[in-house]
Structure 1
Amino acid sequence: MNETLTTPAIYPLSANSIEAYQRNGHILLREVASTEEVKGYRIAINAAVAKYNTETRALSERDTYGKAFLQIMNLWEQDETVRRFVLAKRFAQIAAALMGCENVRIYHDQALFKEPGGGFTPWHQDQYYWPLDTNKTITLWMPLVDITEEMGIMKFASGSHTDGYIDKLGISDASQSYLEHYIRKHEFPVSTTSYMQAGDATFHSGWTLHGAPGNNSHTMREVMTIIYFSDGARAIEPDNKNREADLERWLPGVKPGELAASPLNPVVL
């Protein structure tokens, strides 16, 4: 396995792709990483997930959020190989180009493994959780294995990011009900795909409404995500408990109004 993601060093991102992302709030890009690269990093990510996963309850004992996926965060802090994956400049360059900014920082990473029989991921907005003063936030969502529609591929409400902060509901049955109605009312087209190869990736804005079906296969849906934000963003006063927790965990030592630039938020481009 290569020491870093360097082949190619720069992903060939077209002006049309950038325009489509900015219009829709999401985009699917093929072969962001090669299958060979992903195979090597998958070993390290799976080992870290097995080591740091704390969920031991059966699916039947969990709530909707708990059934949606196993969620293990900031693995780049724990494992050097995962660190190389998360801090790869190729990914950061795509994120910066799509958002239209020069430099980006990491907010945090997440392994999101949807178990066989795992439940749906309710409609939600990621930035409900993030105490940041910028709209230039983006999430890379990359499967580590080939995935099909029945395994729970992401779906997006195209154009919904332009509405900004829609609600103050975290991922839950309540967010599913409210936002499903909101999407129909505002006639946002819902976009998804039927297949993603390991190394393909979607990128979506922090305000884009998105969710995923349950995993109706017998295979674990292994996905790694990386959240980026524009360098120069500042922390804001949290307006919900999740943002309070995020400020403490992902921006340690940073006070509202200060630059969002803790040691956990390195500049990666």
Structure 2
Amino acid sequence: MIQTEKPMLNGTINVDAELINDFRQQGHVLIKNILQADEVAHYRDVINKAVNRYNTETRAMQDRDTYGKAFLQIMNLWEVDDNVKEFTLAKRFAKIAADLLGVEHVRIYHDQALFKEAGGGFTPWHQDQYYWPLDTSKTVTMWMPLMDIDVELGMLTFASGSHLNGFAENIPISDESETSLQKHIREKNYPITRAETMQAGDATWHYGWTLHNAPGNSSEDTTREVMTIIYYADGAHVTEPQNKHQENDRHRWLGGLNAGDAAQSHLNPLAY
């Protein structure tokens, strides 16, 4: 049998200036065909194997709270799996992040697999950066499906332009955030935007302050497989945690660095 070489993701992609402008105005953008079919096939297998190995959720769907029903969340797989590490630290992705943010270099905050099971619940409205004790708004999350998806499987949905007003409310992702932030979105009259379909290897990108949610997975037997990576501009510093979640993040994703320290722990390698 001929052994095929595993695909490396060091080749870079130039992002169209119009897409960069859309990202900065709307707070999110869809970029298509970041991965080719052979690359998707390889890394989908790699990530699925890691998810199966490190997933610790054993509760039946009906026994979970809203957050637990929203998805299986397995974080920082790059730390424990060298094959996933090649995906998470890929220069191709990091260069896109740097271009969108308009910076020379970006670091990894963390990765996370977000697998929404068949029958899984909705993901409440929230802001990712509520959790991050960082002194920069130049943060971005890549959200990449490893399979073709449509709205039925739980498509990421955005409140366009919401990033421009920064921090909205001091609420973690929950039923409370869904109710309160939905009211906030109506009051601010933010347009609600989402793709109807995405192909495996496409990705959406959104700022840390962009409000977003996702519907539940209404399929009967298909798990929505998504891998995400969070980036921030090199040169950022750690801030004093404003809630218990930021304090947890300071320890777990920033290596216990103190407020005022450069956000450059061993967990935050320079990706580009």
SS in 2 for 1:2: coil
Q: Of 5, 8, 11, which residue of structure 1 is paired with 2:9?
A: 5
Equivalenced residue count is 267
Are 1:3 and 1:84, in contact at CA under 8 Å, matched by a contact in 2? no
User: Hey, what does 1:146 align to over in structure 2?
Assistant: 148
Q: Of 259, 264, 269, which residue of structure 2 is paired with 1:266?
A: 269
User: Hey, what does 1:256 align to over in structure 2?
Assistant: 259
Q: How far did residue 253 of structure 1 move?
A: 3.3
Give a deviation string over 1:83-114, Cα, whole Å, max 9, x none: 00000111001000001110000000000000
User: Hey, what does 2:83 align to over in structure 1?
Assistant: 81
- Residues of 2 paired with 1:187 and 1:84: CA distance? 41
Q: Of 175, 178, 197, which residue of structure 1 is paired with 2:180?
A: 178
Equivalent position amino acid for 2:172 in 1: G
SS in 2 for 1:223: strand
Give a deviation string over 1:195-243, Cα, whole Å, max 9, x none: 1110000000000000000000121000000000000000000010000
SS in 2 for 1:60: helix
Equivalent position amino acid for 1:268 in 2: A
Q: How far did residue 3 of structure 1 move?
A: 4.3
User: Hey, what does 1:45 align to over in structure 2?
Assistant: 47
Shift >4 Å, 4+ stretches: none
SS in 2 for 1:267: coil
Are 1:234 and 1:257, in contact at CA under 8 Å, matched by a contact in 2? yes
User: Hey, what does 1:158 align to over in structure 2?
Assistant: 160
Are 1:139 and 1:203, in contact at CA under 8 Å, matched by a contact in 2? yes
Give a deviation string over 1:93-149, Cα, whole Å, max 9, x none: 100000111000000000000000000000000000000000000000000011111
User: Hey, what does 2:129 align to over in structure 1?
Assistant: 127
CA RMSD in angstroms comes to 0.8
Q: How far did residue 38 of structure 1 move?
A: 1.1
SS in 2 for 1:193: coil
Q: Of 58, 61, 68, which residue of structure 2 is paired with 1:59?
A: 61
Q: TM-score, normalised by structure 2?
A: 0.97
Equivalent position amino acid for 1:5 in 2: L
Are 1:137 and 1:227, in contact at CA under 8 Å, matched by a contact in 2? yes
Q: How far did residue 36 of structure 1 move?
A: 1.4
SS in 2 for 1:31: coil
Equivalent position amino acid for 1:191 in 2: T
Q: TM-score, normalised by structure 1?
A: 0.98
Structure 2: runs of 5 or more not aligned = none
User: Hey, what does 1:167 align to over in structure 2?
Assistant: 169
- Residues of 2 paired with 1:248 and 1:70: CA distance? 22
- Residues of 2 paired with 1:253 and 1:23: CA distance? 34
